[in-house]
Chain A
């Protein structure tokens, strides 16, 4: 499964696509596969602040809840309303099923994230355990 090269990735399996001062955030194909059928996504309200490395919401499967960790800090400008009624979109295409859009507080934070190639290496190691 090719990971989009214009995205950056975290070790907690979120992706972020930056566009100048704005960014779009979601979870990776690997994440949705580990979670199984996603039944609910809990996202922050527009206007709330998120902080890099801290939880900004949760994603639920039938038997588990996982925190969503912010790849970067910023203010939420848009929330993907489709996911409220169709959370399965994340399973179907995790890389297009974006969750939130933010204005970046500190675009420099992105440089410490993983590239597509690094992320693919990282998950290959994890899966090997």
Chain B
């Protein structure tokens, strides 16, 4: 097998040195009744060309070449080519976790830069070297608040990504942690009066997302004030990292949890992505995940090491801040390079383009259907409510190789025929105009009492 660097003669020599007659001797510790006597039933060995062909078929079956209006926690942004050029270097790709600092300075220094830039962007004082994704980062952020306050419940905004809330529920249920759900108002923002009612003396934190699932930017200062007044912490989750280029970060929060996928990580059908936790210096010992610190070596040279490791599983075992071991280092490196490429000016310009495309789209959709939540500022997502079922509209759009906005009935049934639309710098005016025209046609038909042509409802 071509990955194995041994000739039959090598294997013979090794067996001889060990003093074994055959390889079977080395598997003798396995009780005979369990040893497999047959081949595994997996596909036969393929040549590299066959593997590539097999996957090319899968790629063709996977919407290759479609334009998309989907967001909802995974965003389609341009990925500058030097990201892959750099992360594909064997020294980054095939390196181990940087426990041996002397021969991992490349990884360690890049993580240190990553931590720095996340702090700059989020307005926090320390940031870790990545969590699995935005949803688990949010769940761990809530657990952090529980440890810090000694309180046991959390108030969670309904405008937080539904799957993030599901993940939090999974983590919380086995800790015996009650979660209360706080609704949103007509402007799409967290209902502040409902929040005041939901907070109790046992509320460890309030969890919000901003921009929230609807794309609406929350009134973070007001929410922070309510939370802090009651001794609760504020945890803010950010799902669309590019928003940080133009939207003021949640500086009043105590913990910021993020999904950095928008920073140069491919959509990749849902993963791997890049969660991050950032917080105030005073909370650092309760923050899970790896941390890189600057130090000097024995000759006074600057270097970097993993630090505050006593928070982690390999030392504290059952008393650790989390069980996390492997994180998302290579994906964090992609995000690191992306942030470095765009930098201070580029991130703002990139965000501005997202804002412009979305404003244009929202304005035109609103001429024909109802764009909800326009009473508060938004970033690059918005909700369109149509007379017709969005699945039917999307089925027709698919024929134009366009993937329409995400139908939301399964998450927010009270919003009826609503769909979540996202525009990034990659969305073309042509695609927007086509989608708007499709919605316009749908509204006209329904108004005129005619059945619009349907291709069969997708999903």
Chain A residues close to B by CB (< 8 Å)? 39-40, 60, 62-65
- List the A side residues contacting B319 at CB < 8 Å: 65
CA distance A39 to B315 in the complex (A): 14
Interface of B is mostly: helix
List B residues at the A interface (Cβ < 8 Å). Answer: 285, 309-310, 315-316, 319
Smallest distance from the beta carbon of B405 to chain A beta carbons, Å? 50
Using CB atoms, name the residue of chain A closest to B285.
A40
Nearest residue, chain B, Cβ from A64:
B315
- Nearest-neighbour CB distance to chain B for A68, whole angstroms, equals 14
C-alpha spacing A64/B319, complex, angstroms? 12
Q: How far is the CB of A48 from chain B (nearest CB, A)?
A: 12
In the bound complex, how far is the Cα of B310 from the Cα of A63, in angstroms?
7
* B285 contacts across to A, CB distance below 8 A: 40
How far apart are the CA atoms of A39 and B309 in the complex, in Å?
11
Residues of chain A with a CB closer than 8 A to B316's CB: 65
Nearest chain B CB to A59 CB, angstrom units: 10
Measured between beta carbons, the chain B residues less than 8 angstroms from A40 are 285, 310
- Taken together as a complex, chains A and B put the C-alpha atoms of A111 and B350 apart, in Å, by 72
Chain A proximity of B317: nearest CB distance (Å): 9
Q: Can you give 15 contacting A-B residue pairs, CB < 8 Å?
A: A39-B310, A40-B285, A40-B310, A60-B310, A62-B309, A62-B310, A63-B309, A63-B310, A63-B315, A64-B310, A64-B315, A65-B310, A65-B315, A65-B316, A65-B319
Could you tell me the distance between the alpha carbons of A115 and B179 in the complex, rounded to whole angstroms?
52
Q: How far is the CA of A60 from the CA of B285 in the complex (A)?
A: 12
Compute how far the CA of A5 lies from the CA of B285 in the bound complex, rounded to whole angstroms.
37
**How far does the alpha carbon of A65 sit from the alpha carbon of B316 in the complex, in Å?**
7
Query: How long is the Cα–Cα vector from A74 to B319 in the complex, in angstroms?
Result: 25
Interface centre among B309, B310, B316, B319 (most CB of A within 10 A): B310
Contacts of B310 in A (CB 8 A): 39-40, 60, 62-65
CA distance A63 to B316 in the complex (A): 10
Q: Which partner residue on chain A sits nearest B317 by CB separation?
A: A65
Looking at the assembled complex, report how far the CB atom of B325 sits from the nearest CB atom of chain A, in whole angstroms.
16
9 tightest Cβ-Cβ pairs between the two chains A and B: A60-B310, A65-B310, A65-B316, A65-B315, A64-B315, A63-B315, A63-B309, A62-B309, A40-B310
Residue of A nearest to B305 (CB): A62
Min CB distance A72 to B, Å, is 24
12 A-B pairs besides A40-B285, A63-B315, A65-B316 with CB distance below 8 A are A39-B310, A40-B310, A60-B310, A62-B309, A62-B310, A63-B309, A63-B310, A64-B310, A64-B315, A65-B310, A65-B315, A65-B319
Q: What are the residues of chain B within 8 A of A60 when measuring CB–CB? A: 310
